[in-house]
Chain A
Amino acid sequence: MQDRVEQVVREFVARVKPEAGEVTVETPLYADGVGLDSLEAAELSAVLEDEFGTDPFQGDTMPETLNDIVSFYVTA
């Protein structure tokens, strides 16, 4: 599961933010990191929901890193 989540997120980042370079599990998803804006975050949430059936962005706190997204699915 963890590998698949990381793959989906990295493929998404490579498509919408190719200039972001390598994304580690600790790289911030937004400013000073990958640089996703709010629309791109919404788009990522839709991609994840379609792929895995649930959406880590619909909780009380937004995921800040790839590690946060992985944790949402692994601990679910």
Chain B
Amino acid sequence: MSETSTAEPRVVVITGGSRGLGAGIVQAYLDEGDVVATCARSSTPEVEKWQGDAAVADRFLFLPADVSSSADCAAFVNAVIERFGRIDVLINNAGVARDGVIGLTSDEDIDVVVDLNIKGSLYMARQVSRRMMVRRSGTIVNISSVVGRSGYRGLAVYSATKAALEGMTRALARELGTRGITVNAIAPGYLRTEMSHGLDEEQLQQIVRRTPAGRLGDPEDIARACQFLTDPRNTYLTGQVLVVDGGLTG
């Protein structure tokens, strides 16, 4: 926790925090002294590192869960409530991409991407916002993507799901605002994480050349934006999409 903060640690739920961007967000909140609960389909070396780190183990929870399953989301949220008593922050980060032109995209690929990226985020928002409403406080951040705004060849399904998250963000901000809950989204640009593996090195270098910041993004870039949007002082900031892309789409 920062030296100037005397506030009680927040309980932060981050879906898909076992690797890549999600792991970066988990690390950032742990570094701030917050309590962090995350889920993924299976554990990873990053998760095992946090579980074995005496400095964070008592304020870190990992549970295996498939966020595209309503039952798994309910079980995960209930377990967090049972252990930590409340949820202050939800980061809907879990997502999947399947690249390929739409003419060759299978039903299964469409289902997998829609079920996790859209339905999973809705399941989590439903479970968590119900508890936040009772407490009259909370903040939700949905991890979108610049391709939800600009599109990208071969990522039609993924782009559609990310655009959907932005609509969900605005609707939930209107719905939950009177209950003291803010809802925002972050649209990251192209990050050097596993999620960018659908792009080849030439495509990534082309993106770098077109990016004013002159580089791909890091998970830490997005984690800092998460912390800004979930700062307890930012109660007047809701229903917005913060684009963090090095100026690519500016």
Residues of A within 8 A of B (CB): 39, 42-43, 45-47, 49-50
Contact = CB atoms under 8 A, between A and B. Distances in A.
Interface string B116-148: 000000000000001101100000000000000
B193 interface: no
B175 interface: yes
B179 interface: yes
Contacts of B81: 50
Contacts of B178: 39
Contacts of A42: 130, 133
Residues of B contacting A: mostly: helix
A39 B175 contact: yes
A41 to B, nearest CB: 11
B179 A45 contact: no
A46 B131 CA distance: 6
Interface residues of B, number: 9
B134 A43 contact: yes
Contacts of B130: 42-43, 45-46, 49
Contacts, number: 21
Interface of B: 81, 130-131, 133-134, 175-176, 178-179
6 contacts: A39-B178, A39-B179, A42-B133, A43-B179, A46-B131, A50-B134
Contacts of A50: 81, 131, 134
A42 B126 CA distance: 10
A34 to B, nearest CB: 17
A57 B130 CA distance: 12
B179 A47 contact: no
A42 B179 CA distance: 12
B84 to A, nearest CB: 13
Contacts of A45: 130
Nearest to A46: B130
A47 B130 CA distance: 9
A40 to B, nearest CB: 9
B133 A39 contact: yes
B195 to A, nearest CB: 33
A42 B181 CA distance: 14
B136 to A, nearest CB: 9
B134 A47 contact: yes
Contacts of A39: 133, 175-176, 178-179
Nearest to A38: B175
A45 B133 CA distance: 11
A43 B181 CA distance: 13
Q: Pick from B131, B134, B176 the residue with the most CB of A within 10 Å.
A: B134
Nearest to A44: B134
